[in-house]
Amino acid sequence: MNIACNQTSQNPFLEKYNTPHGTVPFEKIKTEHYEPAMMEGMHRQEAEIEAIITNPETPTFENTILALEQSGELLDRVGSVFGNMRSAETNDELQAIAQKVIPLLSEHSNNINLNEKLFARIKSVYDLQDTLRLTSEQKRLLNNTYNNFIRRGANLEGEAKNKYRELTQKLSLLGLQFGENNLKESNDYQLVITDSTQLAGLPGSTIAAASQTAKEKGIEGWVFTLDAPVYIPFMQYADNRELRKELYMAFNTKGTHANEYNNEQIIKDIVNIQMEIAQLLGFESYAEYVLQKRMAGNSGAVYNLLNQLLDAYAPAAKQEVQAVENLAKEQEGSKFKLMPWDWGYYSNKLKERDYNFNEELLRPYFELSKVKEGVFGLATRLYGITFKKNPEIQVYHKDVDAYEVFDKDGSFLAVLYTDFHPRPGKRAGAWMSGIKDQWIDEKTGENSRPHIMLVMNFSKPTDDKPALLTYMEVRTFLHEFGHGLHGIFANTTYESMSGTNVYWDFVELPSQFMENYMDEKEFLNTFAVHYETGESIPEELIQRIVASSNFNIAYGCLRQLSFGLLDMAWYTRDTKFDGDIKTYEREAQASTQLLPIVEETSMSTQFSHIFAGGYAAGYYSYKWAEVLDADAFSLFKQKGIFNQATATSFRENILSKGGTEDPMVLYKRFRGQEPTIDALLIRNGIK
């Protein structure tokens, strides 16, 4: 591929960014800039790889491993922005470019990973590593580089190598198509209500948001979408059961309809190709391939954790479901059958009855700007860092804010972009990502600091009220902010091991750790004030939050386990799948099934985490990391939840180290012991 871009003067990607901290000049970037910049990025990296393999000198760490690590700077820079915009601010033109360039990027990656001359140089350095004076980070980078080449087909020969190229190229497009289908089917759906009596039970905030959406779309009445800030409260509060069912079915049948957005064949293709790739590389299944580079190590360890938790939580979960069903029958009659679209509604009624607690009571105390102050303030209290909004930093949408983050000594740490509200060009969910990772220039000692994005889909402001968040939205903010801190505190020499570039079942520890603060009154008291009166959140309300923190916790655990078991069922396969997706799904989740099955629905067809989001054979990570986070926070509970010495240890041993050492080594250095599930069981009231 010898396609160079001759538009250097017009393409902002190909110029040095003359912006604060070298941030992306979003205001200059146009859709037509991406493709030529990525082409030029591939062209430049090809030249860099050629320089490595034609170097007449004996292969060394510096001229081979480090040179490879530092190659592709332009391609990484453009690809990072492109990938982030495809998630946070996409459009048809951007998706069309993706369909064109992603196969080229896959081919480019294969050309590097399957380059025999390049691998020979890497192997030469790898074989001599015991004679080299390498630092621990250099050894880690060398071993990662060698093993990654093996795992990406470097040892394949002849037809097997050609087959690997073909399969990886197909796979790159399938994941893209799966995600696009989910987004488009979500965006195409709307529930229009014109009769105000059908709004019974819904909170004023939800009704106001639906009214505003209707105005924006030029529709009379109220419009409800499948966006989380709309869908969740509708399922919790709407008295109209038929409308709850309609919205539930729309949400849970995405990707199953006989239209252009159907994901069923895509799932089969993804699963079969992943299995075939793994078997080409000498593994029984794709799960075994993935888990070789995880804390779990193998599928047996994953199933051991999932089954331990299933045994511990299932009895309590069944009792929780029975309690909700009993309440529903009290209100609706003994013949009432609790269905999945009833769960949120009646469990919320039970929570109100048993704890005198309604999450809508919290909204006035969770105004977004105050929540930001509270979350940022928590980081200040723990780590001494501060956040300063900088309007000079360009952003990609008017809803986005950019902050400079400074360390306790005043030195610059990072840029943080926050993006809180749903819109048609943004995929569902919440995530943290890096636009630029951290690394250290070994020659000059310069520490190149990261640029981090936090992207969410929270309740929007209305004409007469600011953005008022739910309890779960604040908790989600803390979760993603934990990922953000993992990126912000990154302090490693090499970019490929920086920040969140860690084992997938370790990456959720910093995020889930932060969620613990949501049930601590000392934290809530730092920011939760009524948006109109300025009154602090009442002590009684905090007590209700704490008292109800484990409400239906076992049901929630089994729900997560059902996703983990489904993921493992898809990726532990060692034979081709060509069956019925819904039937296979039911069998995989049978041990966690607590509510009646609705035959038309499917989790798999919308399960972006494992088919388009990098969590294939890895969804168990949330529960794995929950064991870690409960154990880690138990130390803070002993020492004080704001104890700076403990926080400093967490920063130095976990947050700043990235993937430079084995995660269990890092964890034990912080905690002094390996984790057990005991702390989690105690926190959840199971033990």
pLDDT digits (tens, 9 = 90+) for 67-111: 999 999 999 999 999 999 999 999 999 999 999 999 999 999 999
> What are phi and psi for residue 337, nearest 5 degrees?
-110, 120
**How far apart are alpha carbons 315 and 665 in whole angstroms?**
35
CB distance 681 to 313 below 8 Å: no
On the question of pLDDT at 3 being above 50, the answer is no
Q: What is the mean pLDDT of residues 250-267?
A: 97
pLDDT tens figures, 8-40: 458 999 999 999 999 999 999 999 999 999 999
pLDDT-based confidence at 1, cuts 50/70/90? Answer: very low
What pLDDT is stored for residue 10 in this prediction?
Answer: 87
Residues 6+ apart with CB under 8 A from 498: 437, 438, 439, 450, 490, 492, 658, 659
pLDDT interval class at 7 (50, 70, 90): very low
Q: What is the rounded distance in angstroms from the CA atom of residue 212 to the CA atom of residue 382? A: 39
**CATH second-level architecture of 363-547+622-683?**
Orthogonal Bundle (1.10)
320 has catalytic annotation:
no
Give dist(CA 285, CA 275) in Å, integer: 5
pLDDT higher than threshold 50 for residue 338: yes
- Prediction pTM value: 0.94
Ranges for all domains in the chain classified under CATH 1.10.1370.10: 264-357+553-619
Spatial distance between the Cα atoms of 334 and 328, rounded to a whole number of angstroms: 9
Q: Do 574 and 285 touch, CB atoms closer than 8 A? A: yes
What pLDDT score does 687 carry?
A: 85
Query: CA Rg, the chain, in Å?
Result: 25
Pick the catalytic residue: 288, 320, 325, 480?
Answer: 480
How many Cβ atoms from other residues are within 10 Å of residue 117's Cβ?
11
User: What mean pLDDT is reported for the chain?
Assistant: 96
Q: What mean pLDDT do residues 193-216 have?
A: 95
Q: Tell me: the pLDDT tens digits for 169-203? A: 999 999 999 999 999 999 999 999 999 999 999 99
Residue that is written with structure tokens 């889909």 in the block? 457
Query: Quick check: 578 pLDDT over 50?
Result: yes
Q: Where in the chain is the domain with CATH 1.20.1050.40?
A: 12-155
pLDDT of residue 9: 54
| Helical residues (DSSP H) of 617-662, grouped into ranges | 621-639, 644-650
The fold adopted by the segment(s) 12-155 is: Glutathione S-transferase Yfyf (Class Pi); Chain A, domain 2 (1.20.1050)
Is it the case that residue 4 has pLDDT exceeding 60? Answer: no
- The pLDDT of residue 6 is 44
Residue 216 in contact with residue 183, Cβ under 8 Å?
A: no
How many Å apart are CA 447 and CA 489, to the nearest integer? 12
440 and 446 Cβ atoms separated by less than 8 Å: yes
Which tens digits make up the pLDDT trace of 405-433?
A: 999 999 999 999 999 999 999 999 999 99
Cβ-in-10-Å burial (0-12, 13-18, 19+) of 368 comes to buried
Question: pLDDT of 422-479, one tens digit each?
Answer: 999 999 999 999 999 999 999 999 999 999 999 999 999 988 899 999 999 999 999 9
CB 439 within 8 A of CB 494: yes
Query: What is the CB-side half-sphere exposure of residue 434 using CA atoms within 13 A?
Result: 22
- Comma-separated ranges of CATH 1.10.1370.40 domains in the chain: 363-547+622-683
CATH class (in words) of the domain with range 264-357+553-619: mainly alpha
